[in-house]
Amino acid sequence: MAKKCEKWFSEFGIENWEKVCDRTEKNEKEYIEKEGIRENAIERIIIRRSEDSSDSDSSYNDTI
């Protein structure tokens, strides 16, 4: 199995590896750019969920 892998990697070629690396770098940049957007969205969901829970608690307390 190791020999098959070595053969495959040696035949893959520099040009193909360059394409793989370029695509990986592009994906990393996109992830980094969108990371802040994701964090803000998640934070808003958590805050909104927390507010909903607080509203439910106060409504419950009002009925007691």
* Residue extents of the structural domains in the chain: 13-63
- Is the alpha carbon torsion for 59, 62, 63, 64 positive or negative? positive
pLDDT at 46: 77
pLDDT tens-digit series, residues 19-61: 999 999 999 999 888 877 878 778 778 777 677 766 555 555 5
Q: Where are the alpha helices (DSSP H) in the chain?
A: 2-12, 14-63
pLDDT at 16 > cutoff 90: yes
Of residues 8 and 53, more confidence is placed in 8
Collapsing DSSP to helix, strand or coil, 13 comes out as coil
Of 47, 27, 23, the C-alpha closest to 35 is 27
Quote the CA–CA distance of 24 and 17 in Å, as a whole number: 10
Dihedral angle of Cα 20, 21, 26, 32, to the nearest 10 degrees:
120
- With a threshold of 0.85, does the pTM exceed it? no
